[in-house]
Structure 1
Amino acid sequence: MKRSLLIEEINTDLIWSGLHVETNTEYVPEVLKDTAERFAEIWKIDKSSFVYGKGHRKTVQQRQYEKLLEYAAKLEEYIEKIGICGPDRNSYSKTDHSATFMRIKTDYMGNDQLLPAYNVQVGVADEYIAVVEVNQYRSDMDCFIPLMEQFYKTYGFYPKYPIADAGYGSYNNYIYCEQKGMEKYMKFTMFKKETEDKKYHENPFRAVNFKVDNEGILRCPYGKAFHFAYRKAVKGNQYGRQEEIYTCENCSGCPYADQCKKTDKNRTIRINRELTSMHDEVIRNLESIQGALLRMNRSIQAEGTFGIIKNDRWYKRIVRRGMNTVKMEIFLVSIGHNLYKYQNKKMRLHKVA
Structure 2
Amino acid sequence: MLIQDYLDICDPVLTFDRFMGEIELEKYLKNIPQHDTGRLRYDPVSMLKTVLFGFMANGYISLRELEDQCKINLRFMYLMDHQAPSYRTFGYFINEVLADSIEEIFQDINKKIFETEHVDLQHLYIDGSKFEANANKYSWVWKKATEKSRYRLFGKITTLFEEINEELSCTGMKLCINSEYAPEYLKEAAEQYAEVWQINEAMFVHGRGHRKTTQQRHYEKLKEYAAKLEEYVEKIKICGEDRNSYSKTDHSATFMRIKTDYMGNDQLLPAYNVQVGVADEYIAVVDVNQYRSDMDCFIPLMNKFYTTYGFYPKYPVADAGYGSYNNYIFCEQQGMEKYMKFPMFKKETTDKKYHEDPFRAVNFPIGEDGIMRCPNGKNFNLQYRKNVKGNKYGRQEEVYQCEDCFGCPYAEQCKKTDKNRTVRINRELTAMHQEVIENLESIQGALLRMNRSIQAEGTFGIMKNDRWYKRIVRRGIKSVLLEVFLVSIGHNLYKYHNKQKKVAAAA
Q: TM-score range by the shorter chain?
A: over 0.9
Which residue type is aligned with residue 488 of structure 2? S
Residue 48, structure 1, aligned to residue 202, structure 2: yes
Which residue type is aligned with residue 156 of structure 1? G
> d(CA) in 2 for partners of 1:8 and 1:223?
64
> d(CA) in 2 for partners of 1:207 and 1:65?
63
Q: TM-score, normalised by structure 1?
A: 0.95
Q: CA deviation at 1:55?
A: 3.8
- Equivalent of 2:219 in 62, 65, 76: 65
Partner SS for 2:247: coil
Q: TM-score, normalised by structure 2?
A: 0.67
Residue 309, structure 1, aligned to residue 463, structure 2: yes
Which residue type is aligned with residue 100 of structure 1? T
Partner SS for 2:268: strand
> d(CA) in 2 for partners of 1:16 and 1:255?
76
Q: Which runs of structure 2 are paired with 1:230-309 in the superposition (5 Å)?
A: 230-309=384-463
Partner SS for 1:284: helix
- Equivalent of 2:362 in 184, 188, 208: 208
Partner of 1:10: 164
Alignment deviations for residues 90-111 of structure 1 (CA, whole Å, 9 cap, x no partner): 2111111111111111335754
Q: Which runs of structure 2 are paired with 1:141-160 in the superposition (5 Å)?
A: 141-160=295-314
Alignment deviations for residues 220-265 of structure 1 (CA, whole Å, 9 cap, x no partner): 2222222222222111111111111222223222222222222232
Alignment deviations for residues 175-229 of structure 1 (CA, whole Å, 9 cap, x no partner): 1111111011000100001111111111122211122233322222222222222
Q: Which runs of structure 2 are paired with 1:105-116 in the superposition (5 Å)?
A: 105-107=259-261, 110-116=264-270
Partner of 2:146: none
Partner of 2:344: 190
Partner SS for 1:162: strand
Q: CA deviation at 1:292?
A: 0.6
Partner of 1:219: 373
Residue 31, structure 1, aligned to residue 185, structure 2: yes
> d(CA) in 1 for partners of 2:163 and 2:405?
54
After superposition, the CA RMSD in angstroms is 1.7
Q: CA deviation at 1:61?
A: 2.8
Partner SS for 2:336: coil
Which residue type is aligned with residue 283 of structure 1? I
Which range moves more in the overlay, 68-77 or 105-114?
105-114
Which residue type is aligned with residue 321 of structure 1? R
Q: CA deviation at 1:113?
A: 4.7
Residue 325, structure 1, aligned to residue 479, structure 2: yes
Alignment deviations for residues 139-185 of structure 1 (CA, whole Å, 9 cap, x no partner): 10111111111111111110000000000011111111111110110
Which range moves more in the overlay, 17-26 or 296-305?
17-26
Larger Rg: 2
> d(CA) in 2 for partners of 1:175 and 1:144?
12
- Equivalent of 2:236 in 66, 72, 82: 82
Q: CA deviation at 1:50?
A: 2.6
Alignment deviations for residues 291-322 of structure 1 (CA, whole Å, 9 cap, x no partner): 11100100011111111111111111111111
Partner SS for 1:265: coil
Partner SS for 1:211: coil
Aligned length: 353
Partner of 2:174: 20
The structure-2 alpha-carbon separation of the partners of 1:43 and 1:217, relative to structure 1 and needing over 3 Å to count, comes to farther
Partner SS for 1:212: coil
Which residue type is aligned with residue 61 of structure 1? Q
> d(CA) in 1 for partners of 2:426 and 2:201?
64
Q: Which runs of 5 or more residues in structure 1 are unaligned? A: none
Moved beyond 6 Å, runs of 4+? none
Q: Is the 1:106–1:112 contact (alpha carbons within 8 Å) kept by the matching residues of 2?
A: no
Which range moves more in the overlay, 315-324 or 20-29?
20-29
Q: Which runs of structure 2 are paired with 1:91-170 in the superposition (5 Å)?
A: 91-107=245-261, 110-170=264-324
> d(CA) in 2 for partners of 1:263 and 1:271?
19
